[in-house]
Amino acid sequence: MTGIGRDTAGGPFVLPLVVDIAVSKLDALDVIAFVCDGAVEHAGTAYPRVGLAANAWAEVEIPKFGDPPPLVIDVCTDASLALPRAERDRLAAGLERVGWAVRSPEPGGL
């Protein structure tokens, strides 16, 4: 699956999705895995993620303790900027189907 052997955060191409809900990192990863028909990779490490496609994965950034949401989901890839855009849009559609309201912090995003 995506990112085998990789145990560090991020990639050279990253596009964020913002979700204005309070949910734990583990629960968010489980929902992402569910809507993408994937699995949480590197569970129990500092950098868990969900594989989205070959060379693309999603990571979750949670607010610091005491800070309110939003939760940020980074769609990352080592390949090109076109790949995270397509995977971000696919992930956003899946999350919206389960009731999450998502937005892109980029102007004109999504």
Quick check: is 5 in a domain? no
Q: How many residues does the chain have?
A: 110
pTM of the model: 0.82
Quick check: is 88 in a domain? yes
CATH number, residue 44: 3.30.310.50
Residue 51's nearest CA partner among 70, 25, 77 is 77
How high is the pLDDT of residue 2? Answer: 42
Model pLDDT for residues 32-72, shown as the tens digit of each residue? 999 999 999 998 888 899 999 888 999 998 777 767 778 89
Whether 77 and 56 have beta carbons less than 8 Å apart is answered as yes
Whether 77 and 84 have beta carbons less than 8 Å apart is answered as yes
Domain of residue 76: give its range. 13-103
Quick check: is 7 in a domain? no
Look at residue 10 and tell me whether its pLDDT is greater than 70: no
Quick check: is 68 in a domain? yes
Number of domains in the chain: 1
Tell me the Ramachandran region of residue 46: left when phi exceeds 0, alpha when psi lies from -120 to 50, beta otherwise: alpha
